[in-house]
Structure 1
């Protein structure tokens, strides 16, 4: 147990020190995006990974998380630390309200319904002038306290703040993974009718998982808004955002605690570097390569990258740290009997 916690502490220290080693703007930008999509992926994993309800509409909660601190700062000059909490509350209320009808659906019907909700949200944001409409909101203010209003001049600060939220998300996800709540969600994902037959209130547990996932995705959206300091409906509430959240979990490993981090690392690096090296051609080669690489990984790693990494770690540990068991007297006698039987 001590080795387990020590290894996690070492990984955390490495994560904290990364922006001090990777000093370029691009590298720190990639680090921040990895953390943001990891938080969103951990949130989606509660409903999509554990409960087995594939939602393609989590851009709704991402948009609420983005717009709440942005609009409150733009209209009333509310600090983002407070407005972020308000965004979480609004996301939970929204998840509860839309979850009542949507979670009655199963399979593809549920996924399609969540897609429709995102499109409705995008249309509302485009036509709401108070929230900037299609032009969006620019809420940069250089005169405010950077730490109070989360408007830093260096990307490292954004990364460290987001990393703190990621650590909290991992701690909560680890607790849920081993709790009765997590086991009940897995039972629902396996067979919902069987779960109901053993006394699990499937509607209640699916609703709780939906609301819990909305919390993390909303936080990720709020942090992303503070990083950009500009928002519009095309950044926050499009199908590409929802698909990115889903792909992060699928790529890393559905139903795992750390799979979202692995998936976010793979996807963000592929998307950013293909855009950098091939995006300037103007022919969409970066998008073709990005989509092709994602398809290849999903086809050849159907359970995600995380199980493969776990097997590699176990193989390396067995190769370098496996000790030969001490030979007892009983084992020596047994070995001698075997040799005698052969002779």
Structure 2
């Protein structure tokens, strides 16, 4: 049953299996295991970024397609929910219309970009996607009447997903049974379904052809596969999944702006998560996103504790100052690439 659910792709490493199971349990019961606004928000962000990173790995790790426009698709999904909620009101119909519209527009835009650009060499395609993503980000910032510009959009979501709504009086294990809990599990189960879907795709005949194209596109073309068609299809599917991740992120935050959904910083973060977890493995997205989001949220706090512990020593307190957390995040990334060149998942499987 488990093998069928995971599409035949078992972890193939006891350590990896334990890590994945631990992450699944922690995310599934996060509101009860880690009560608190910040911890639940971190868990929701991990869920969303797992889907975002997995959707990018579908294109890069399996299709061998380098793109810098993934945050653009992510932003389309987020703005789809924001605009639908703004103009249609706080209903589930607005969330559905916004999510589906964002995914369709993202897939259509990816289709246009793919048909016109995927015939060129990889580096030129990457530059084209970077130019288009930058143009869209500037356009969103300037269309303040529609998108809110640099200030973004704040909107209302269904009352049933807000903290004021209570579906049970009292608490369970100290947790209030309110709409925010429902919103978290909406994000969690949606992300779980999307992840299992992508896991199924990459282990289908379509996914096997993508791997063949990644390894040798000339040979794949020679034996009868239309390489451009498969790459365009992978790009469209990846874009739609990224847009759905953006929709879930918008539902969770109840705010959308250029910095939260379209910035180049998010694109760099996605690349780091893919490399840390391991390219060409859906499980790498789980490991990479979890480690990176946890580091983003808690590394500064850990550095403060470490700085206080060595306060009597020379130089070390300055090096461990919380303001230098990006420096140490970069060091951690360099070490992970050096010791795990195929990513954490690849290293664990190779060690087995």
Name the structure 2 match of 1:49. 61
Instruction: Indicate conservation of the 8 Å contact 2:184/2:252, yes or no.
Output: no
Gaps of 5+ in 1: 315-343
C-alpha distance after superposition, 1:169-224 (max 9, x if no partner): 23222222322111110111111111111111011000000011011111111111
Change (3 A) 1:2 1:289: closer
Q: Structure 1 residue 2: deviation in Å?
A: 6.1
Distance 1:33 1:215 in 2: 19
Change (3 A) 1:264 1:155: farther
Gaps of 5+ in 2: 7-16, 167-177, 305-317
Greater shift in the superposed pair: 17-26 or 128-137 = 17-26
When normalised by structure 2's length, the TM-score is 0.79
Name the structure 2 match of 1:29. 41
Greater shift in the superposed pair: 178-187 or 242-251 = 242-251
Distance 1:2 1:113 in 2: 41
C-alpha distance after superposition, 1:220-266 (max 9, x if no partner): 11111122212211221111111222222221111112110001011
Q: Radius of gyration: which is bigger? A: 1
Change (3 A) 1:276 1:67: farther
Aligned pair partner of 1:139 in 152, 155, 158: 155
When normalised by structure 1's length, the TM-score is 0.81
Instruction: Indicate conservation of the 8 Å contact 2:300/2:322, yes or no.
Output: no
Number of residue pairs aligned between Structure 1 and Structure 2: 311
Aligned pair partner of 1:219 in 238, 241, 244: 244
Distance 1:140 1:290 in 2: 35
Aligned pair partner of 1:198 in 200, 204, 223: 223
Aligned pair partner of 1:268 in 272, 293, 296: 293
Change (3 A) 1:311 1:202: closer
Distance 1:177 1:59 in 2: 22
Aligned pair partner of 1:247 in 254, 272, 276: 272
Distance 1:237 1:63 in 2: 5
CA RMSD across the alignment: 3.0
Change (3 A) 1:132 1:43: same
Q: Structure 1 residue 278: deviation in Å?
A: 5.3
Q: Structure 1 residue 61: deviation in Å?
A: 0.3
Name the structure 1 match of 2:342. 303
Distance 1:284 1:121 in 2: 32
Distance 1:138 1:170 in 2: 28
